[in-house]
């Protein structure tokens, strides 16, 4: 009888080899996935904010067009985004009337879409403000709301400026 050159392994050795290989196949992806989940990756979310600046009065210069009793007021706001974004803004101007009630100053270009660069975009609106009847002073402020889309979701932010009291000269 001739012996075969191939040596047969015992059943216990075969089971040990199969279990070692299967554990290696299962543990390999787990070992690779472990450190990846523990690491914090930066998010690519975009965040936009708006800052309503305190209204400011435009000083009259010689040769300026006279607006009678009206005063020119500058209403500025700044939109700041993490990356270039298409932003819708809605700005409302208010004057405080009798009994501390706010009355909106209507304007034609107080809303619209703007492209905001990576850092910021400043919008400047100049408006004529007229005094209330028999008043020598008037308080004004503005409210700005923005809406933008980030990864399919609409996000909002708003800000209200500080109030500014305007004194009217030459009012009788």
Question: pLDDT tens digits for 77-121?
Answer: 999 988 888 999 999 999 887 777 888 887 777 888 888 887 676
pTM more than 0.85: no
Q: Is the pLDDT of residue 51 over 60?
A: yes
For tokens 């690491």, what's the residue? Answer: 39
Q: Is the pLDDT of residue 145 over 90?
A: yes
- Is the alpha carbon torsion for 68, 125, 73, 122 positive or negative? negative
Q: Tell me phi and psi for residue 89, to 5 degrees.
A: -115, 150
Helices (H) and strands (E) in the chain, counts: 1, 10
Write down the pLDDT at residue 18: 58
- Higher pLDDT pick, 94 / 25: 94
Write down the pLDDT at residue 17: 59
Write down the pLDDT at residue 172: 46
Write down the pLDDT at residue 128: 81
Indicate the CATH number of 48-167 among 1.20.950, 2.60.40, 2.60.120, 3.40.1350.
2.60.40
């Amino acid at each position: 009888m001739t012996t075969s050159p191939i040596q047969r392994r015992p059943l216990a050795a075969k089971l040990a080899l199969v279990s070692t290989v299967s554990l290696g196949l299962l543990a390999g992806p787990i070992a690779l996935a472990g450190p990846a989940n523990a690491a914090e990756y930066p998010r690519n979310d975009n965040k936009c904010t708006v800052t309503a600046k305190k209204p400011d009065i435009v000083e009259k210069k010689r040769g300026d067009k006279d607006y009678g009793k009206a005063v020119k007021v500058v209403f500025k706001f700044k939109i700041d985004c993490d990356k270039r974004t298409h932003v819708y803004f809605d700005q409302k101007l208010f004057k405080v009337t009798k009994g501390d009630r706010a009355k909106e100053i209507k304007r034609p270009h107080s809303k619209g879409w703007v492209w905001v660069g990576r850092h910021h975009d400043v919008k400047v609106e100049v408006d004529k403000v007229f005094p209330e009847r028999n008043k020598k002073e008037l308080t004004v402020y503005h409210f700005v709301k923005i809406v933008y889309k980030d990864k399919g979701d609409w996000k909002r932010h708003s800000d209200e400026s500080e109030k500014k009291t305007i004194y009217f000269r030459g009012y009788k």
